Structure 1
Amino acid sequence: MYRLAFATVMALTSLPAIGHADVKRGEYLAAIMDCGGCHTPGQMLGKPDRSRFIAGGDVGFQIPNVGIFYPPNLTPDPETGLGKWSKADIIKAVTKGERPDGRVLAPVMPWHSYGRLNPQDADSLASYLKSLKPISNKVPAITPPQDKPASPYLTVISP
């Protein structure tokens, strides 16, 4: 009986606590989900600024008749990034495509795919983003279709 109880305690203590965020797992997920591909300045121009990793993209995505969207700063900077967002806010944005203010994320953000993250991985990703050094980097605002953008952009064209 003692051996069974000891084995059970050992097995349970080797499991992560429910809700425990694995920041390393989140770092791995951010890498394979290629967050830096869009959200790092200079990345889409072939000159990524590694000192500002995922601090917001400087190349936007134009969606005809909708506007131009620039990838936001994902660091926990309170003024230009996710610093005022809770982990739950980040998880909801990544998995449901909804910002804390209720707006839907830009259509180019692949949240439909990321919505398949299991709860532990979503928590790990959010924990990783919250663990980063805050970097102040304001990206260009959404440019309405009738306005001229101030920064480079890619165009999505439907056949």
Structure 2
Amino acid sequence: MKTITFLLFVCSAIIYVLSSCNITSSKPVAQDDARYSKQLIARGEYLVNAIGCDDCHSPKKMGPHGPEVDAALRFSGYPAQRPLPPADNETVQNGWALFGPDLTAAIGPWGASFAANITSDETGIGKWTEAQFIKAIREGKSKGLDGARTLLPPMPWQNFRKLNDEDLKSIYAYLKTTTPVKNIVPSPIPLKDIKFKKEVRKV
């Protein structure tokens, strides 16, 4: 009887230790806004992944199978400290658009545009209201502000504006729970101000 009691005690102790270790090693979860349910946030996460927001808004790093999202910088947009590589003017003048290697920057007839920081940081959408977010997507207004410039390509807001209110609210709710990354994305550069590569004259 004593042996059985001892074994039960040991098993209970092991389960307790393993449970404690599991809690300790778990990653901290962002504080969800009380206005948004877990279901709404989960819906937003699903939509963000399905729509492909990572494609342009997340810096990439080279992995064993090619470029992959840099988890530490996810959704933080074009890195502020990264210089814009010289581009080929002739290619742009011929009507082509150029993309950076991780798709966070693009150059075309509109000039140079940079993917926005959409993390929950104040340099991202941390201070945005839900109404601002919806206006940005529905009307293509930068930061969702009246009188602001129109969102530039390649942001396909004209397609996303068709999402219903519930979908847009869920995306906003999810993005507000993302890990904040401090990164002030550069302003767009007009085409005339872009430093293109010097043309090499053919002999």
The alignment's TM-score, normalised by the length of structure 1, stands at: 0.72
State the alpha-carbon separation in 2 of the partners of residues 103 and 148 from structure 1: 19
Which whole-Å deviations, capped at 9, do the CAs of 1:72-122 have from their partners, x for residues lacking one? Answer: 1001211x2112211111111122211333221113211111111111111
Q: Which residue does the alignment assign to 2:108?
A: 63
Check if 1:52 corresponds to 2:73: yes
Tell me the number of residue pairs that the alignment of Structure 1 and Structure 2 aligns.
130
Letter in 1 for 2:71: R
Q: Which moved more, 1:82-91 or 1:138-147?
A: 138-147
Q: Which residue does the alignment assign to 2:121?
A: 77
State the alpha-carbon separation in 2 of the partners of residues 40 and 20 from structure 1: 24
Q: Which moved more, 1:101-110 or 1:29-38?
A: 101-110
Percent identity of paired positions between Structure 1 and Structure 2: 35
Check if 1:109 corresponds to 2:155: yes
Letter in 1 for 2:175: L
Question: 8 Å contact 1:42–1:57 — kept in the other structure?
Answer: no
The Cα of 1:149 is off from its aligned counterpart by 5.6
State the alpha-carbon separation in 1 of the partners of residues 183 and 46 from structure 2: 23
The Cα of 1:133 is off from its aligned counterpart by 2.1
The Cα of 1:20 is off from its aligned counterpart by 5.0
Which whole-Å deviations, capped at 9, do the CAs of 1:20-69 have from their partners, x for residues lacking one? Answer: 550000000000110010000127982431111111135311121x2100
**Which SS does the other structure have where 1:76 is aligned?**
coil
State the alpha-carbon separation in 1 of the partners of residues 134 and 67 from structure 2: 29
Match of 1:98 among 137, 141, 148: 141
Question: 8 Å contact 1:41–1:56 — kept in the other structure?
Answer: yes
Q: CA RMSD in A?
A: 2.4
**Which SS does the other structure have where 1:61 is aligned?**
strand
Residues 149, 32 of structure 1: alpha-carbon distance in 2 compared, 3 angstrom cutoff:
farther
Question: 8 Å contact 2:36–2:173 — kept in the other structure?
Answer: no
State the alpha-carbon separation in 2 of the partners of residues 145 and 24 from structure 1: 40
Residues 20, 135 of structure 1: alpha-carbon distance in 2 compared, 3 angstrom cutoff:
closer
State the alpha-carbon separation in 2 of the partners of residues 43 and 76 from structure 1: 22
Q: Which residue does the alignment assign to 1:136?
A: 182
The structure showing larger relative contact order (alpha-carbon pairs under 8 Å, at least 6 residues apart) is: 1
Q: Which residue does the alignment assign to 1:120?
A: 166
State the alpha-carbon separation in 2 of the partners of residues 149 and 84 from structure 1: 33
Q: Which residue does the alignment assign to 2:45?
A: 27
> Any unmatched runs of 5+ in structure 2?
1-34, 80-103, 197-203
